[in-house]
Structure 1
Amino acid sequence: MFNLLIEPLNYEFMRNAIAIGAIVGILCPVVGSYLIVQRMAMLGDVIAHCVLPGLSISFFLGIDILVGAFGSGILGAFLIAWIRSQTRVKVDAAMALTFSTFFALGVTLITVLKNKLDLDSFLFGDILGVAPHDIYRALAIAVLILLAIQLFYKELLFYTFDKTGAQAVGLPTNTIYFGFMAAITLTIIASMQAVGVILVISLLVGPALTAYLLVKELHQMMIVGAILGAISSICGVYLSYYWNLPSGPAIVLLSSSLFLLALLFSPSQGILTRPNPRGSTATMRRLGLLKRRE
């Protein structure tokens, strides 16, 4: 058993894959927890596809992809907010329009600018091709976001559950929204190399949803989700090594399997284990009838 754990570590590409998998496995569920409680889980998927035009332009200009991807993702997020504030269009329609427009623009720019951007790697990730500088970048992004969440946890908690109340007491809700969008965009950028933009939404939402079924408090949800995300990422890399599976999908499928187990067997919300309210009501009625007869 010990040899099974040690053998992959003899290869540098496996050590790099495990390292960045652990980083994004911790970061994604923490940020994703806020998306879930705000009922905006699909926003992560929209921003993930909005970064494609920025990536294409960055490749063409020869600059760091972080700059272009961040600018493009933030632009997509603010376009959604602007459409919501200026029209009667609902948020789901605004996200669908922005998603398709930015993705089509990105694919068009790749063709027009003749970039040598590996679209398959962008969509599905290439965690086994991670370089040390990718790990350092992901680690820096993770530390920055986690530190910001710790420093402003109370403000974020208030904003997440009561935006109107947060605005009434004088919290800078627009600044919080901007910071939240920036955190989502940076998280997606850090995770693209590992699982790609198509699968990143699963890593954002999957472990956090599993934690949602197991605990009740937001901070507990983030902690449990981070643990499950790290386990899914590391175990997914090991499965891809021994079973010759694509690493990104292996991570996502393992995360989804943990959610399925929680859905079925969660002590409080599991389909097979939760208390039956109808049965409890019927039992109480029988007890009441017996007492009346006595």
Structure 2
Amino acid sequence: MISDLLTPLHYDYMLRAIWVSALIGGVCGFLSSFVTMKGWSLMGDALSHAVVPGVVLAYMAGLPFALGAFVAGLLAAGTMAFVKTQSRIREDATMGVVFTTYFALGLLLISLFPARVDLKTIIFGNILGISDPDILQVIGISVVALVVLGLKWRDLMLFCFDPNQARTLGLPVRRLHLLLLALLSAVTVAALQAVGAVLVVAMLITPGATAFLLTDRFGRMMGLSSLMGAATSLVGAYASYFFNGATGGCIVTLQTLVFLVVFIFAPKHGLLASKRRAQLTTPPLDGSV
């Protein structure tokens, strides 16, 4: 039985998929804490779809698709910021209009040039077939993201928690905003390799949301989020061999299951704990104490 469990480790493509998935999951988990605190879940969804036309154009031009995705992500973020500052439209409506427009443009390009673009790779990812240049891109993005987050996490934490206080303390709020957008775009590009444009938003939100239910300290939240992101990505990629299913689907499904368990059983902020507190604070119907 042990030999059967070790079977995936006998294949180089599975080993590569497992450790690259763990790396991507850890970085996404780290950034997920800031996305959750800032309330940018829709922004992550927007960028994950908005990078599609950049990927398509990069494929058609023979360029690394990570370059096209990153440029498209920055353009989409810039478009959202421009529309928001120049109109009365709410931020959520702006994101919805912009990301659906970019995604529609990507699908149009795919339909016009179907032979030159692998739609399945863009939408669902292809971590099992990841090439050496793509691995280097993922490593480069991950290292840069981790270094920047490690150096600027306190400033970014304050910016996400209370931008007005950050501005009062003299922090460059606009630069921090752009920095977080750039990191979100870059990490989205890296995660596309593992789970594709459809599921990347889950890797950027679920670990942070799960950690948020487990602790009230942001530093501990970052550690838990990174750990859960890396562990679920590793186990999900490993399990996909036995299920013979999509690696991205296995990873995100596992992250969701972990979230549901924490949502119910978290010792302080879980559903059961909330019900117990409600019962303790609710007076009896007969008015007795």
1:43 is matched with 43
**SS of structure 2 residue aligned to 1:273:** helix
Unaligned runs of 5+ in 2: none
Q: CA deviation at 1:164?
A: 1.5
Amino acid at match of 1:246: A
1:103 is matched with 103
| Conserved? CA contact 1:16–1:131, under 8 Å | no
| Conserved? CA contact 2:207–2:226, under 8 Å | yes
Q: CA deviation at 1:7?
A: 1.9
Amino acid at match of 1:254: L
| Conserved? CA contact 1:268–1:275, under 8 Å | no
Unaligned runs of 5+ in 1: none
Larger mean Cα displacement after TM superposition, 67-76 or 259-268? 67-76
2:94 is matched with 94
Q: How does 1:231-242 map to 2 (within 5 A)?
A: 231-242=231-242
Supply the distance in 1 between the matched residues of 2:278 and 2:109 (Cα, whole angstroms): 57
Q: CA deviation at 1:113?
A: 4.9
Change in CA separation of 1:177 and 1:223 when aligned onto 2, cut-off 3 Å: same
Matched, 1:198 2:198: yes
Runs of 4+ with deviation above 6 angstroms: 283-286
Amino acid at match of 1:251: I
Q: CA deviation at 1:289?
A: 6.7
1:251 is matched with 251
Supply the distance in 2 between the matched residues of 1:4 and 1:225 (Cα, whole angstroms): 31
Q: How does 1:1-294 map to 2 (within 5 A)?
A: 2-113=2-113, 116-274=116-274, 276-282=276-282
**SS of structure 2 residue aligned to 1:153:** helix
| Conserved? CA contact 1:56–1:115, under 8 Å | no
Amino acid at match of 2:90: K
Residues 114-172 of structure 1, C-alpha deviations (whole Å, 9 max, x = no match): 56211111111112111233222212211111111111122112211111222233222
Supply the distance in 2 between the matched residues of 1:81 and 1:63 (Cα, whole angstroms): 27
- Structure with higher Rg: it is 1
Change in CA separation of 1:243 and 1:59 when aligned onto 2, cut-off 3 Å: closer
**SS of structure 1 residue aligned to 2:273:** coil
Supply the distance in 2 between the matched residues of 1:132 and 1:223 (Cα, whole angstroms): 29
Q: CA deviation at 1:5?
A: 4.5
The percentage of counterpart residues that share the same residue type is 33
Change in CA separation of 1:246 and 1:67 when aligned onto 2, cut-off 3 Å: closer
Larger mean Cα displacement after TM superposition, 162-171 or 233-242? 162-171
RMSD: 2.1
Residues 223-253 of structure 1, C-alpha deviations (whole Å, 9 max, x = no match): 1111111121111122211122221101110
| Conserved? CA contact 2:60–2:117, under 8 Å | no
Amino acid at match of 1:188: T
Larger mean Cα displacement after TM superposition, 255-264 or 120-129? 120-129
Q: CA deviation at 1:203?
A: 1.0
| Conserved? CA contact 2:8–2:238, under 8 Å | yes
Supply the distance in 1 between the matched residues of 2:284 and 2:227 (Cα, whole angstroms): 40
| Conserved? CA contact 2:47–2:73, under 8 Å | yes
Residues 56-113 of structure 1, C-alpha deviations (whole Å, 9 max, x = no match): 2222222222222111101111111111111110011001100110011112223345
Supply the distance in 2 between the matched residues of 1:115 and 1:84 (Cα, whole angstroms): 37
Scaled by the length of structure 1, what TM-score is found?
0.92
Supply the distance in 2 between the matched residues of 1:115 and 1:186 (Cα, whole angstroms): 27
| Conserved? CA contact 1:16–1:132, under 8 Å | no
**SS of structure 1 residue aligned to 2:6:** helix
Supply the distance in 1 between the matched residues of 2:169 and 2:260 (Cα, whole angstroms): 40
Amino acid at match of 1:11: Y
Supply the distance in 1 between the matched residues of 2:3 and 2:159 (Cα, whole angstroms): 48
Larger mean Cα displacement after TM superposition, 99-108 or 277-286? 277-286
